[in-house]
Amino acid sequence: MPTQIAVDAMGGDHAPDVVVEGVAAALKSRPGELDVWLTGPADQLSVLVAQLDPEIQAKIRVVDSPDVIGMDEAPAVALKSKPKSSIHVGLGLCKAGKADAFVSAGNTGAVMAGALFLIGRLPGVSRPTAIGYFPTLKGTTILVDVGTNVGCKPEHLVQFARMGAVYVEKVMGADNPSVGLLNVGEEPGKGDDLAKSTYALLDERSDLNFVGNVEGREVMNHAADVLVCDGFVGNILLKYGESLASSLPRMIGEEMHRLQMTPEAMSIVGKALSGVKARFDYKEFGGAPLLGVNGTVFIGHGSSDAYAIKNLVLAADKMVREQVSSTIAEVMSA
């Protein structure tokens, strides 16, 4: 049976055109395996959908959602004042069991607040969390939390670790994934009170492959499959990583000109740089799952293009097929 994905057609800086284009690309790549509920103003969306191939049109259902929540609107206020928004309606489809997942590149706060209000948390989860992807020399490390929760307690970070480990195992295929605590030193006694207390709790757990503290200089060496920290630290690290994708090629380009390299040599270096840059590109991952809610919710980057939207939809599809949410529920209730 095809996975049912509800997509916020009005989410992102370039909606709805790139969203519809990305949805069409996702459906083409998974023929017969996906159906999409497209939420947004029906008059706009119907025109865009009508331009697609008939086979793709047949896999899309437009659900009229005349209200749109802007990127700069206060989440709680917008959800209450705009019950017919594309975010509210899309999450409502999940609550009603019509959709298996909801994805949006729109207002992150509104998606998070709406997910908590409409579909709720999984039993045993205090705070849902969003993850980020960090490329390393040995694959990809996930970073959790990346800004969803700024003021955290030690028990929250332990929950993040447990949920992150499930995601890495089910979606990324790592057997017995390692978990590290991002800290200012490797020794157990390092860090502030939050880090010290969290270390003690993680070290006690027999259900986690805890490898201890991880310093920032070891992140790129893939010190752990799952790196745990509070959202304040995580968001800073994630944004720094994203900046490398644009700043390093520029710096290397300036150096190549300084060295007066030949065009042929520059072309070879440029190809290598493109491969490295792709590892840091959020478009390759699509977006971040919101772990701990009673369903599958993915949040995309506000500047997502059609390629990013395609991967956002496909990432949600994979999370549904791997039954990540139900596995987290089992783990957290144990």
Please state the domain count of the chain.
2
Residue where a domain stops, chosen among 249, 264, 284: 284
pLDDT computed for residue 246 by the predictor? 77
Phi-psi region of 136 (alpha: psi -120 to 50; beta: other; left: phi over 0): beta
Same domain, 280 and 142: yes
pLDDT computed for residue 321 by the predictor? 95
Give the distance from CA 39 to its chain's centroid: 20
CB 103 within 8 A of CB 298: yes
Residue 46 belongs to what domain range? 3-125+292-333
pTM beyond 0.85, yes or no: yes
Residue type, 291: L
The whole-number mean pLDDT for each consecutive block of 10 residues of the chain, a chain of 334 residues, reads: 96 95 97 96 97 96 95 87 95 96 94 93 93 90 91 95 96 94 93 95 95 94 96 90 82 91 90 78 84 95 93 96 94 85
Residue where a domain stops, chosen among 260, 284, 308: 284
pLDDT computed for residue 272 by the predictor? 84
pLDDT computed for residue 191 by the predictor? 92
Same domain, 155 and 242: yes
pLDDT computed for residue 245 by the predictor? 76
CATH of the domain at 67: 3.40.718.10
Residues listed for the chain: 334
Same domain, 15 and 118: yes
Residue where a domain stops, chosen among 284, 301, 316: 284
Same domain, 264 and 301: no
Same domain, 106 and 134: no
Same domain, 173 and 308: no
* Helices within the chain (DSSP H only): 17-29, 42-49, 54-57, 75-81, 86-95, 108-118, 154-171, 193-204, 231-258, 263-280, 306-321, 324-333
Same domain, 14 and 80: yes
Same domain, 137 and 277: yes
Same domain, 120 and 134: no
Same domain, 269 and 309: no
Same domain, 268 and 307: no
Same domain, 104 and 206: no
Which residues are bridge partners to 289 per DSSP? 298
